[in-house]
Amino acid sequence: MLKKEENDLLTQVEPHAPMGNVLRRFWMPALLEEEIHQPDGPPVRLRLLGEDLVAFCDSAGQIGILDAYCPHRRVHLYFGRNEACGLRCVYHGWKFDVSGQCVDMPGESPETEFAQKVHITSYPVRIRGGVVWIFMGPPDNMPEPPDFEWSLLPEPQRVATKRLQECSWAQAVEGGLDSTHTAFLHSRFDGKRLSSTGRTFPIGFKDSHPVFDVRQTDYGMLIGARREAGDDRYYWRITQFLLPNYSMVPATIEGTDSRDQPYIGHAWVPIDDTHTWVWTFSVNPGRALTKEERLRQGSDGIWGPLDESYRPLLNRANDYGIDREVQRNKTYTGIEGTANQDSAVQESMGPIVDRSRERLGASDSAIIAWRKMMLNVVKDLSAGKEPKLAKDPTLYNRRSASLIIDRDADWVAAAEPLFCAQPNAAEHSGGKSHG
């Protein structure tokens, strides 16, 4: 368990909070490109790390993400006119370009040159993998975006989705690091569990108490969950956690080489202290996704359905659609969809769980290690030590893995060849800079 002050450090991300300062040292997903690809299209409301923002695509196709409020009388620029390479406040006509510079002030005399003196906050953006990425940290410390394989591969091989989760980002991250819960929360009474790739797990999850081995790495943590797989063999399910808020979950196809198998990545991006965007990146590095796979991984597939604001239709307000008859006879929860099951239990803890009241066990070793690691990063930054990982985008070019090996084999050595993403993934980038 954590002390209250440690829990506050872990969960508070809004402006000037120490953890918020850490997260601002890294690029984060902000919007799906599909939300804002239309030049002179409608502006988009956005809230990240406790800041209200507005995004727009100007006449030239450049994307800007600005402070949401006009500096004149604090009107929200969501209601603005997106026209002629700028976003114009409808109250008095002040207009701002993607850099945040005021370029027109029709209610003021041109002789004053007042517009040239007005500038609002604008954050750099990049487009990669169908996602608009944002950097909200100090401009002098801005690194290149992370070289995740799923952000660099061609569009036919990837799908990006997001969904709202109504709790602290830390609760969502810890759910992603918890391999034990899958044997319970996501189980069915026919002995199968549907994976994120649409396949079922024939073994592995029959062993409900995996043994964890957590290794610190240059990029974060390597988390191995070991389960029984018959005589003299173990099934290892290996999750990558990459600072500050990313994980990669392996394909679960037993006895096969996972280098060309589909896998998923997650990013947990704090909206504020009590709300989170849960991003999922589905990728097949070996081939294009089929139509069926794209539908299954899309917003109305295994992670959905969602409303127009990306809030799940099954949510706290309707008890996530729990069906007690289904819970009694078919599934462990009676809630449809693995993502909805995750949201139900994580949101049920409250907006920010009181970690001082927890009783953790051996199966929580990855969660304990993550908390210690993140609190150490906060401590280092507060002492003036910048996160090294933020400066090296190549360290993100990793994969997760699953494999069955002999009991006496070194799982890290056996899995290492599976961790390396395509060495030429960056050649597919096509990333665009904005802002």
Residue 375 has a pLDDT of 97
Residue 426 has a pLDDT of 42
Residue 207 has a pLDDT of 61
Query: DSSP string covering 169-191, please?
Result: HHHHHHHHH--GGGGTTT-BTTS
Q: Is residue 255's pLDDT more than 80?
A: no
* Residue in this structure with the two tokens 């109305």, named with its chain if needed: 300
Q: Is residue 283's pLDDT more than 80?
A: yes
Residue 176's closest CA among 235, 226, 245, 108? 245
Q: pLDDT category, 214, cuts 50, 70, 90? A: very high
For residues 165-181, give the mean pLDDT.
92
What letters, b where the CB count within 10 A reaches 16 and e where it falls short, cover 346-361? bbebeebbebeeeeee
For residues 113-138, give the mean pLDDT.
95
**132 vs 400 pLDDT, higher one:** 132
For residues 310-320, give the mean pLDDT.
95
Cβ atoms of 218 and 389 closer than 8 Å: yes
**Both tokens assigned to 395:** 């360290």
Q: Is residue 258's pLDDT more than 70?
A: no
Q: Is residue 252's pLDDT more than 80?
A: no
- In one-letter notation, the amino acid at residue 34 is E
Q: Is residue 200's pLDDT more than 50?
A: no
**279 vs 389 pLDDT, higher one:** 279
**Helix 169-177 and helix 365-382: axis angle, to 10°?**
140
**Helix 4-11 and helix 169-177: axis angle, to 10°?**
90
* Residue in this structure with the two tokens 């990029």, named with its chain if needed: 219
Provide the terminal-to-terminal Cα distance of the chain, rounded to the nearest Å. Answer: 42
What three-state secondary structure class fits 387? coil
Domain ranges of the chain: 27-141, 149-434
For residues 299-309, give the mean pLDDT.
77
Digit-coded pLDDT (tens) for 377-433: 999 999 999 998 888 999 998 888 888 899 999 999 998 888 876 644 444 444 566
User: What is the DSSP-derived secondary structure letter of residue 311?
Assistant: -
Cβ atoms of 334 and 324 closer than 8 Å: yes
> Would you call the peptide bond into 244 cis, given omega within 30 degrees of 0 as the criterion?
yes
Main-chain dihedrals φ then ψ at residue 69, nearest 5 degrees: -110, 130
Residue 369's closest CA among 213, 182, 175? 213
- Count CA within 13 A, CB hemisphere, residue 247: 22
Provide the CATH number for the domain formed by 149-434 in this structure.
Answer: 3.90.380.10
**99 vs 189 pLDDT, higher one:** 99
Look at strands 122-123 and 81-82 and give their pairing: unpaired
Q: Which of 126-135, 206-215, 242-251 has the highest mean pLDDT?
A: 126-135
User: What is the DSSP-derived secondary structure letter of residue 296?
Assistant: H
**422 vs 167 pLDDT, higher one:** 167
Q: Is residue 254's pLDDT more than 60?
A: no
- Is the pTM higher than 0.85? The answer reads yes
CA distance 108 to 115: 9
* Residue in this structure with the two tokens 């190549």, named with its chain if needed: 394
What letters, b where the CB count within 10 A reaches 16 and e where it falls short, cover 31-64? bbbebbeeebeebbebebbbbebbbbbbeeebbb
Provide the CATH number for the domain formed by 27-141 in this structure.
Answer: 2.102.10.10
